[in-house]
Structure 1
Amino acid sequence: MLEKQNMSLIQHLEELRKRIIITVIFFIIFVLGAFLYVQDIYHLLVSDLPFKLALLGPTDILMVYLTIATVVAITATLPFAAYQLWLFVKPALTKKERKIALAYIPALCLLFLGGISFGYFILSPMVLTFLMSLSDEMFATFFTTEKYFRFLLHMTLPFGFLFELPAVIMFLTSIGVINPHRLQKFRKYAYFLLIVVSIIITPPDFLSDILVTIPLLLLYEASITLSKIIYRKKLKVEEADSHSAQLD
């Protein structure tokens, strides 16, 4: 019996290793593909800046190009990674759960893009404008390319993942792992965690923390609302199935 369990564990680890390798291969392909257009993407990102970016060393621009290519590759790899994850957990799911999980993959990708867009088009300009206003013309504005893109990375990529929270919660609700009552019960702990996350990913100033914290808290509340909708539908389906079984 123990030997069979060990074999099963080894098979699961082998399957996980296979899925990770496939995902990494896709990621590497997209990184290499992004490098073909990285200069065009760079010029697009800096075209509307009201200031010039400077380089402090010959390797700075290489690090910036690598950062851009990595973000593009992560975005492009996400649907493939989600599909590989679905293939890994597929044997443990029922036929209905498999269909539900597969249907959430497009939502994950759209929410990731939405999170990055929110960070780039809305949050980054607001935070950058506020930080620049602190100088009040007392200092000469000097931005290095590497530091600006590091700031941009902190303002966009985390939101790509955090914006997937509603889809993840809806999926977990639909398969019965969590429910809205549990989410409401742990609301204060979730708030504390989201506040910590917002402080970590933003520049060290109070306004930036507030501008990031509020959307995250609203995102959690939206997740609870969506969970309630999914949970009610799930209960109705279960009641209908139970009633049908009694008639049979």
Structure 2
Amino acid sequence: MAENQSAQRKDEWMPLTEHLGELRKRIIYCLIVFVLGLVGGLFGSQRLFDYLIEAAPVKNLDLHAFSPWDAIGLYMKFAFLISFIAAIPFAMFQLWLFVKPALGEKEQKATLVFVPWAFAMFLVGLMFSYFVVFPMAFLFTEKVTFNLGLEQTYGVMQYFSFLFNILLPISLLFEFPLVILFLSRIGILSPELLVRMRKIAWFILIIIGVTVTPPDVVSDLLVAVPLVLLYEISVFLSKPGKSAK
């Protein structure tokens, strides 16, 4: 009797161990691609650095290294950013492969479309945060420094840390609608639940918008309003018959 119960428990746990093994395999694949992208990103770091300096919100931006490690750390930051962007579509595809066995044929086709859209939405968020939010945040800090009668000296690591701390969070937030749609397609979320959560979601998104922008109403609205609109679009598209077949 005990042997039968032990065998039964083993059979019940087999699917879980298989899922964990599959998840581990997908994560390893993603890490391999990320490391390869990191190596390739080191070769593109110089060009990206030159572009960001030329496109800075102020002309003749004079940056300083305050540590012998600043240049090396900067190369790694740029390589990480390049690798991260390049790995997004592959990671999304691996996620789709992981959940694919649990989906029907129609659901598989409906969710596969999220892979290229995830990359596209990240790029949209990246451009929005760099060309809209970052200049406002940077010029705001410049104005405060000037009003205090201080002379601004830019450290290269401090400048790009400030830049990346704005770019990456906002770019990832632009993935929010796709995450909602994906969870809706696999049955974890429903349009009714999203509607009930609307007020809480709005509050959280507004708090995020206020947190990542300078403390003025215009900047807050320029970030919070698009995030709320993205949520409403995701709610609309999650309804049956609204998404791409």
Residues 1:183 and 2:194 aligned together = yes
Matches within 5 A, 1:161-176: 161-176=172-187
Picking from 99, 111, 120, the partner of 1:110 is 120
* Alpha carbons 1:34, 1:69 under 8 Å: kept: yes
Partner of 1:132: 142
Pairing 1:7–2:18 present: no
Whole-angstrom CA distance in 2 between matches of 1:225 and 1:83 = 24
CA drift at 1:161: 1.4
Show the counterpart of 1:76. Answer: 86
Paired with 1:121 and 1:30, the residues of 2 have a C-alpha distance of 25
Q: Secondary structure at the match of 1:66?
A: helix
Aligned to 1:56, the other structure's residue is in SS state coil
Asked if structure 1 preserves the Cα contact closer than 8 Å seen for 2:177 and 2:230, the reply is yes
Structure 1 Cα separation of the partners of residues 234 and 25 of structure 2: 32
Match of 1:244 in 2: none
The answer to whether structure 1 residue 197 and structure 2 residue 197 are counterparts is no
Shift in Å, 1:233? 4.3
Q: Is the 8 A contact 1:194 1:217 kept in 2?
A: yes
* Structure 2: distance between partners of 1:79 and 1:220: 22
Deviation at 1:209, TM superposition (A): 4.5
Q: Is residue 111–residue 185 contact of structure 2 (8 Å, CA) maintained in 1?
A: no
CA-CA distance at 1:133 after TM superposition: 1.6
Aligned mates of 2:100, 2:161 — CA distance in 1: 37
Question: For the residues of structure 1 that align with 2:98 and 2:75, how far apart are their CA atoms?
Answer: 33
Partner of 2:166: 155
Corresponding residue for 1:101?
111
The reply on whether 1:213 has 2:220 as its aligned counterpart is: no
* Unmatched segments (≥5 aa) in structure 2: 1-7
For 1:61 and 1:210, how far apart are their aligned partners in 2?
36
CA positional deviation for 1:76 = 0.3
Matched residue SS, 1:141: coil
- Cα distance in 2 for partners of 1:70, 1:226 equals 33
TM-score by length of 2: 0.86
Structure 1 Cα separation of the partners of residues 226 and 142 of structure 2: 22
Structure 1 unaligned residues grouped into runs of 5+: 238-248
Aligned Cα root-mean-square deviation (Å): 2.1
Q: Is this contact kept in 1: 2:133–2:213, CA < 8 A?
A: no
Count of aligned residue pairs for this structure pair: 232
- Contact 1:199-1:209 at 8 Å conserved across structures: yes
Sequence identity of aligned pairs in percent?
A: 39
141-150 or 205-214, which deviates more: 205-214
